[in-house]
Chains A and B, each alone.
Chain A
């Protein structure tokens, strides 16, 4: 018996699979997660993978949470330890009272285990060697067998896994469905072994419920790509880089289904895998200049490479959408680990005085919404719009509200002067602020034989697009760009505020993928006797409510996933706020931020503030 009481919980635990990448474990692990969803129990899976194709450690974590806590929790309740390379570390990560499932074909000394956990051995390799002769089959079916074992240990509905196997392998192997039966057999082998030889079920159990509702299970990159389809993007130029490649891949896939003319089979889109990020953004800018909705998807290093072009699009005022699926920097950093570390490099991208619009979606559904919105914003504001995703949202399946589109919605193509307007004699000045909102009219190339043409350039120019190096027209133009940036504040998504039940002097600001962990942390902070109001910032430039939120609290915590408190710097800089009032809470080890981390950091701070003064002066 373990020295700690075995954990006993229903529909609320974390299972972590430790595998070697390239071993085919991903599809088995994902099937496990999906089967739990089919039981009506919310799950939040995360892939923790190396920048490598075969042979290095990889983990798949499934957080089961009937209460729909979809952020990472930290700690593991059941470790499925299939990788000898990481065995010791994996065992160390198990919660006291937790469980270990390992391959007991080769017996390990008791010293390899911990006294406070329940150790469950299954001779997986021996079973596979007995059942299969082909080495690849031995490897692949081992994964399904351990899923079979888990169905017994956790009291899962095995029929749901069988159903998923049927769906996954239907039509595979040249349409003969030949893979379905052996997979179901492997599942049964595992389940039977566990039922006969192990104490089933263990303290961690699954029970059918109805907490998933109509939510969908989708990766943020795929949802963002769908948003680009719905938002009318026709040109995508990109260069492969983790963790953004799957966004362009998904756009390609979605377009093949949704954007091919049914009769002519011709494409209503163009996708170019460019030679580098410079060419990607160059193509996006060329297409945007010429009136198409265009985007690129990249990550931090790509943003660094695009700097010069981003400045051109800002200064020459050309619509462009850039999806930045952030990963841990600087430099190559940790290419397969998550961070929110490009906030400043995007907000002020390029040389000279520049400022850009950033959107911070919290999950796939919002990634879809903001993606579609970004094309309207780019056209309306005639400037680059950054959609700030990260690896945690982008590359993991997340339970998310269903994607929705209002069929009555019209694209906002912004201020584009037409042939008719030019013909009617409407005055055209490419950089003329006719409406006072800082946004001038543009024309698409080829609009009119004699009116409305202009020269686009990165050099300074007057209101009629004529080259000048005079100081006054330069300042006039730079001031108008600031007016335009102010206009943006009313067009972009506003922050969302949720106040504590009782009045409090403390607030917290957060954004993007931190949201689910923050939602969960609030209850933990309250349990420690503290109350905080919270504000989720959804875009930059900041709405005036950010100023009032900070002004309305003695201290505001700014929780983010980078070392240097980048959003906090933006708030200080752009809202003119005394830095002392903004307390940075930074998580940046490359793993997704957890509720435990946030609750501890904020709780500790607030505990410290509770110290009574030595003497009360009357």
Chain B
């Protein structure tokens, strides 16, 4: 159950990161999701990414909506504050939290029902605004907690566990994110941690709105033949455009790659992403091309994964608002209250 804490003891030789924390310091309570759920793999990937980045475990704010995916912040980063808000409204709560304190890392965890249906508007507007965050959708194409109804990301023609065929067109959140101006857009698969962990790591280091759509099969309601979000289907149709290695600014690039097969992307914090290109013709910094590539492959039934778009000079909402560098929640009344002298002048101007 969620309220059961995991035992704290661990193997004395467990590796430590540069802050001296082990992997276990980034864990939360025991998951209550179904055994084999893709979401648990994503949780593990987030934990791995935070460990590798050597983030202070309490400097993350985990915010979610409602649904299976939105429960997962309890299962990670137990020393961080978490906020399980209302259905589809994680983006607004995260935006407000980010405005209050720009110094924390904001992790928004959502699902396809939460983001593509009830919260589609908030999903769109927080990406438009460039809120500095990692927005992860754990996408299984189905409503799990209410037992298997199609979600808005379910592909047209796919079959539900009860045998219904979905006749509605699906929403591709990656295509939407590209159109809405997200400055870091990726898609991955919960069954491919080697791809997912560096993507999450790079997204945390990115300044601006980073969006990751993670296909995450629902073992209880959407893992059958006829589903396009099953483990088998995703493995068979996964079209990865690149493989990512993340290196913080402190690490020298040691790995040698074949010339012409690698692109190095430097982020604002000095960290570097090295991408091994799998699709030779894929252009990482071109929104329109990315959209075209997605649609071309979607028409063939393929699921394009990898880091799909990164903006070189990304800015975030605070830059747009010219807010002071110190967190707004740390300003004292001396800094906020203009005092009676200013009020006297205002009174005089109103006579």
Contact = CB atoms under 8 A, between A and B. Distances in A.
Interface of A: 212, 214-218, 226, 229-232, 234-235, 237, 258-259, 261, 264-272, 274-276, 278-292, 294, 308-309, 312, 402-407, 410-411, 443-450, 453-459, 466-468
Interface stretch (B170-178, B214-222, B326-334): B326-334
B324 A456 contact: no
Nearest to B21: A449
A530 to B, nearest CB: 38
Interface of B: 2-3, 56-59, 61, 63, 73-74, 78-86, 89, 91-101, 103-104, 121-122, 124-125, 129, 318, 321-325, 328-329, 331, 333, 335-340, 342-343, 346-347, 350-351
19 contacts: A229-B337, A230-B337, A230-B338, A232-B337, A259-B336, A264-B324, A269-B328, A270-B321, A270-B323, A282-B85, A282-B122, A284-B96, A292-B329, A294-B100, A312-B85, A405-B337, A453-B58, A453-B82, A468-B3
Contact of A403 (B57, B81, B347): B347
B85 A458 contact: yes
Given A286-B92, A292-B328, A267 B323 contact: yes
Given A276-B121, A285-B93, A292-B329, 11 more contacts: A267-B321, A270-B328, A279-B92, A282-B85, A283-B93, A286-B92, A291-B100, A292-B101, A407-B340, A447-B58, A453-B82
Contacts of B61: 290, 445-446
B28 to A, nearest CB: 9
B104 A445 contact: yes
Contacts, number: 225
Nearest to A308: B86
A274 B84 contact: no
Contacts of A261: 324
A266 B322 contact: yes
Contacts of A290: 61, 96-97, 100-101, 104, 329
Interface centre among B73, B100, B122, B331 (most CB of A within 10 A): B100
Contacts of A226: 343, 346
Contacts of A215: 351
Contacts of A212: 351
Contacts of A448: 58
Given A234-B100, A286-B100, A453 B338 contact: no
B96 A458 contact: no
Contact of A456 (B79, B82, B121, B333): B82
B337 A446 contact: no
Nearest to B85: A312
A447 B329 CA distance: 12
B92 A218 contact: no
A270 B96 CA distance: 9
Given A216-B351, A218-B350, A312-B85, A446 B59 contact: yes
A268 B103 contact: no
A258 B329 contact: no
Nearest to B56: A449
B129 A272 contact: yes
A446 B55 CA distance: 12
A286 B93 contact: yes
Given A235-B99, A403-B343, A268 B328 contact: yes
Contact of B333 (A258, A410, A457, A458): A410
Nearest to B92: A282
Given A226-B346, A274-B125, A404-B340, A266 B58 contact: no
